Structure 1
């Protein structure tokens, strides 16, 4: 994508950022709304029952609040919070997490086992926090990054600065300038050659360094995995500093910035300063942080004196209600502190020749605002391919020349909004420059020698993505696990590539997470076996890593392996980029009958996963469920590696214990399974007609292939996984019915699955079978539901659609052809199945055997005999054959103000399908259900959570339309469960008294009483003297 002008780029990027921001807020709201604070804490995004343990001032006078558990010494609950996350501070007693209840917000600056420090966004002058109150912290959507990116884009509109030439080249249609003829003399030796800081650079690295130093506007260093990209970048920085230039080095993440700094500090001539909070940095380089350097500067003693006074006032503010004078003193102290710290920061930064920071911190809001706009001569962005282009421009505007380094064939920046990604937000600046038709290749150099992988591990990625240009350095080209000290030589340690194929093993994937992640317990067991084999061979657990695309599989594997092998690293693909291990075991998880692979189809994700291995790569996957990229990887491993079937491990797998997916605690697992069961019927709503047709054709093709196999003719049962959607199950049911196969659903809830088997001729028909064909639709619904046990709505509606309606049972009609349809009947079914007593039929007799049809002599399952009879005879049972059923008289609950509009429903006798009846019911649902109200509610209406009826806005309150008793019962139950009615009421739970605090308060009270007694005694003595 090329932009016509800078203004066009800014307008489009701002629009895409708004889409991304909206998607982030919606995702955050989806995860947090209608969820209790306790559940949010279990998810890891909230911490409850915290008290203020201290308040102090940080850099630039920012207020830092230290929170700890209410019980002194107790550790904080585990959470996903980390340094840099934005959190909101709420009263612990607030029932919601809405913005109106938020006291203030801040950034996590330090997280320890028992305390967490929050740096407030604003001054704390008007923030009321009490030592005696409890608070909760909730992770918020990151608005700081969005605000900075938006500010940076707006500043580009009227930009006039050192990067004007680079901007004109990328947005003004100009070509890149030609490189300089020679390097600065200070960089050259006696023979006019470049003097290298790192003597071990290979030819491609040296060429990239010289090329970058000669470029006038921008140079791009493309570094495939293991080629020493960061080493090359550091050499360029050192050479630039030696030439007298000042460098701003950036990266999208703190880890990438630390990697550069770690290599830079080995050279004593570099004065490098790292911006950011020290807690976000690696411990070895924290002394290079701005805070650490300031603490050793000459002006620090004066700053510390002011800060001590400020801290004393902040502590005093929490202990008194008369805060007016304290506020004024804090304001003056904070102003003085800012002035003195600003002066110290300017002095430190101006003397540094390399300043390192993350891209989103390279703005005018941070410490860089104290430097002149043209202070820097060179900007370096490492891992540029992992950052959006708008973030890169926060740093690029600060210097006339730039270096971009990365690999656009590895993971791209994370984009939440699919629409924003489709419109170009995920396109990086590095990709855009490389893809320039006119001169894209003129400013790019690729590193070609890799120092990590065995040549066989490397070659697939080289052929697939890097035009076969990668070469393995001789030191790693043929190294294997068995060459490590203490590792024995065997069939596992003597091979670089191993493929364990689970095709045909029925190791199907499972979706047991409310976030939609996936796991595969069969693959997890195979991974555990191979890990144990490697460890038994002498490979240290710290040299092995298990990588998988799905977080649910990560959780499952950690439950199985982390306790036994604490040093074994188990991570997602996204969390392992930039890392390496001697042995990598990759589990792709996906295994289903429709060939759906999700984001496993992304070749960049596969590239990252495979290129983490140094000596051994083991791929565990189902070769029949692969994407185009994954199939290429499987074919490569089949040709160049060793292939084993999962059947070879079946005997060993009997000893492997696999926990229930997503089940850390039985109660939590039950919640997850309940959510999945509720969500399954709605999965098909997200599929278009074309997608359904494609899925149906794949399923039918698979069924046809199976039906002609020896496995089918021998009577074996074909079982389909529980991950299938309602639509996919319907396709299988219809195909099996049309072709005379036995088909049934087994299992419950999230383990619901279909079994199909070729019919087997058996004994004569059993009694009670004909009674099924005489059942009404509602009765058949009851029978099918009770027959299946705790059936879900999706399977139940599949069976309902295969039963004729009541009208058709009372009429003779023409032969019905149950043709396969591409539209999902479940989507139009809104009415819930009737919950009543089951007909008095021997269900066990119906399930256990088959029946032979008298007309066509075919043998069909008993449960399907009624449907077969309709197709075979071409007509329905007559009215005389339908025996009247005695209706059950159930006295309804008194709801006088509601109306059942179904009584007035006029069903046309000519309606022969259930869709017509349901459409009539849908029309009734467009009118308020209050007895005397005719208001339409198709656009504006609310459903009562108690009676599940919809009402207009005038009658939606439970007390108005007849649910007053129910809402009062519900309120009483909530009150009894929580133990209080409202804060400040007489039923508030008594708070646990801290013994130390009580003793302290008692001492203060005794001291005051003693003072008062002394004062009174003095007054009495004065009166006596006067007398």
Structure 2
């Protein structure tokens, strides 16, 4: 342990409240385990809590590494772990029901058997997840059977848990260390059981209200550990009380975060400053942007650490792919929800497909869940265990050798940048999110983003602005034009012969979905012969669907009307943020309208799982009237096609279908009646 960690341990031995500030990679969990070990050695009983199962398991593993002798019933882990290596440990049981089963409780033995079966079934579902959308009949049957059995076993678990309550309480009374999530602390099992020391790890992710309840399980000796510069608790409610007690962590509620920002040193705060995770350049940019009051130092051992993972595009510790010149479009999942950027995902496909076996440890992360799902579809099955694709929120606490951070927002399509990029003050969610994303990287951090929008000149020097300023100054630039060359043909930039290539792909496809913003869409006429050749056996859906933006008078473009008369399912939508086509296993995207006279940058990606994921992301109503085999969504008065209007107001989707002629007339008449 370094000097800062030893000082933190000594401070925490005093039987009062201690605050432990552990920025990324500084060994906070190691320090927590040392504190618990010291107090256990003095005969104290300890409650170890964390907000999530994953965070709790990390703390438990660290403690077992320091004190393996606890794994004989002295350390009890409540609930089901996220880390399955804690189950059925040969070195000694730690899960409460396994301990009860060893002591001869028959109900506990049955509970352990049921838990084991549930783990098997969940592994089965996890193995099928990469094939979602293209399961064979046998695989679909397996999935349904697994889900049905899981539901039945969960009901059994609930009944067993009721019967096992007294057994579990007795085991907890006899334990030296009880490990539980923050919410488990307030449940029946630990009711009226008191502890000499309460340690709440990852407290920055815990609400102030819940932290107070956890601390109440002790006699006053409490250690609150976390990093208030990382992500705060997730809260849906926006009432003043929710913002005060649920949105704020104990660090904010107690004034610790404010004091640090103002340059004051709070009493009983131990700050760790030596980090062991990030290479020097990555650590420096994270420290400069997010920890100016308590700068991070990179341990000497980091420079001596061998590089485990290599990729041809990760040539430096910091790499930036500036997509400003692509004019990539940001869209919304199903037209109304969270954001994704198809072109950015296609660049990620190029990066992932271009690595060799030397890239053993990679993470693709994004602030937006739809983009994370697209990135997840790109992971090769051979690397599902070592590689990861996730939102930043889900990946807090994780780390990888190589991290690719896709910012998604480009200012085109969805024109307004998310507040994560525009409100970057110290303590803002945007600054915390960017801090977490960057600090997950051990050896290489690759940032993909439209820097002309994310880092405009003349902005205030908040942490987000500072991060991007240092990134542009210190990172190696990888031009986006060079990225497709790494992909071994998976992603390519198409600069000529677009119509011919589209026709070739359509000729091999069973389904086609197109999203064409603006007018005209001249290329659609040239594709009609190929589109007419597609045959589809499902009477409830269309093999070909073309979404177009209506013109100012509400009519669809002339080329689209002609295609509709030729039997193509043309659907008007306003606005259309995407510019793309999903043709079988191939995804096309463009900066401007794909079939317009000037499509801009055009990318083509051939990847079955990715194409399936894009279809799910963009799925709207099919346009078929159920059971009729005929196109639906026509105006009942004038037979004109209804237009799908997609808007998002204050974060809530607003989707409606209207006739641009009749509904406008009705609204106008109603308005005149109100005036009279």
Tell me how far 1:295 sits from its aligned partner.
Answer: 1.6
Residues paired across the two proteins, number: 477
Corresponding residue number in structure 1 for 2:377: 559
Q: Using the alignment, how far apart are the partners of 2:18 and 2:557 within structure 1?
A: 68
TM-score (norm 1): 0.41
Does 1:207 pair with 2:13?
Answer: no
Deviations for 1:806-857, whole angstroms, at most 9, x for unmatched residues? Answer: xxxxxxxxxxxxxxxxxxxxxxxxx98984699xxxxxxxxxxxxxxxxxxx
CA contact (8 A) 1:303 1:340 kept: no
CA contact (8 A) 1:581 1:614 kept: yes
State the structure with more CA Rg: 1
Cα 1:494–1:403 change in 2 (3 A) is: same
Does 1:609 pair with 2:428?
Answer: no
CA contact (8 A) 2:556 2:572 kept: no
Deviations for 1:394-413, whole angstroms, at most 9, x for unmatched residues? Answer: 22112211100001111111
Deviations for 1:198-230, whole angstroms, at most 9, x for unmatched residues? Answer: xxx00110011111112x431010000001101
Tell me how far 1:654 sits from its aligned partner.
Answer: 9.4
- SS where residue 230 of structure 1 aligns? helix
Q: Per chain length, whose mean CA-contact separation is higher, i.e. which structure has more relative contact order (CA < 8 Å, sep 6+)?
A: 2
Cα RMSD after superposing both structures: 4.5
Corresponding residue number in structure 1 for 2:102: 296
Q: Using the alignment, how far apart are the partners of 1:589 and 1:354 within structure 2?
A: 44
CA contact (8 A) 1:500 1:644 kept: yes
Does 1:469 pair with 2:298?
Answer: no
Does 1:548 pair with 2:369?
Answer: no
Deviations for 1:393-445, whole angstroms, at most 9, x for unmatched residues? Answer: 22211221110000111111111124456555311112222047699711211
Of residues 15, 32, 39 in structure 2, which corresponds to 1:233? 32
Matches within 5 A, 1:96-107: none
Tell me how far 1:583 sits from its aligned partner.
Answer: 0.8
Cα 1:285–1:233 change in 2 (3 A) is: farther
Does 1:367 pair with 2:189?
Answer: yes
- SS where residue 478 of structure 2 aligns? strand
Of residues 216, 221, 235 in structure 2, which corresponds to 1:397? 216
Q: Using the alignment, how far apart are the partners of 1:391 and 1:338 within structure 2?
A: 23
TM-score (norm 2): 0.61
Cα 1:559–1:344 change in 2 (3 A) is: closer
Unpaired runs of at least 5, structure 2? 113-159, 423-429, 456-461, 493-501, 503-508, 522-544, 562-569, 577-633, 642-660
Tell me how far 1:512 sits from its aligned partner.
Answer: 3.6
Cα 1:718–1:432 change in 2 (3 A) is: farther
Q: Using the alignment, how far apart are the partners of 1:304 and 1:495 within structure 2?
A: 53
Corresponding residue number in structure 2 for 1:528: 349
Tell me how far 1:290 sits from its aligned partner.
Answer: 1.7
Tell me how far 1:644 sits from its aligned partner.
Answer: 2.5
Tell me how far 1:638 sits from its aligned partner.
Answer: 2.0
Q: Using the alignment, how far apart are the partners of 2:162 and 2:302 within structure 1?
A: 55
Of residues 245, 253, 259 in structure 1, which corresponds to 2:58? 259
Of residues 201, 222, 225 in structure 1, which corresponds to 2:21? 222
Does 1:504 pair with 2:504?
Answer: no
Cα 1:605–1:751 change in 2 (3 A) is: farther
CA contact (8 A) 1:547 1:609 kept: yes
Corresponding residue number in structure 1 for 2:669: 920
Corresponding residue number in structure 2 for 1:387: 206
CA contact (8 A) 2:328 2:344 kept: yes
More strand by share: 2
Q: Using the alignment, how far apart are the partners of 2:309 and 2:235 within structure 1?
A: 45
Corresponding residue number in structure 2 for 1:102: none
Corresponding residue number in structure 2 for 1:406: 226
Tell me how far 1:383 sits from its aligned partner.
Answer: 0.5
Q: Using the alignment, how far apart are the partners of 1:425 and 1:835 within structure 2?
A: 52
Tell me how far 1:667 sits from its aligned partner.
Answer: 11
Deviations for 1:767-787, whole angstroms, at most 9, x for unmatched residues? Answer: xxxxxxxxxxxxx94767657
Does 1:632 pair with 2:632?
Answer: no
Matches within 5 A, 1:682-701: none
Of residues 229, 244, 248 in structure 1, which corresponds to 2:43? 244
Q: Using the alignment, how far apart are the partners of 1:555 and 1:301 within structure 2?
A: 42
Q: Using the alignment, how far apart are the partners of 1:500 and 1:303 within structure 2?
A: 54
Matches within 5 A, 1:512-911: 512-513=333-334, 516-533=337-354, 535-536=355-356, 539-541=358-360, 543-563=361-381, 565-566=383-384, 567-593=386-412, 594=415, 596-601=417-422, 602-626=430-454, 629-649=463-483, 655-657=489-491, 752=549, 781=553, 789=561, 792=572, 794=574, 835=638
Cα 1:449–1:752 change in 2 (3 A) is: farther
Q: Using the alignment, how far apart are the partners of 2:467 and 2:109 within structure 1?
A: 60
CA contact (8 A) 1:453 1:614 kept: yes
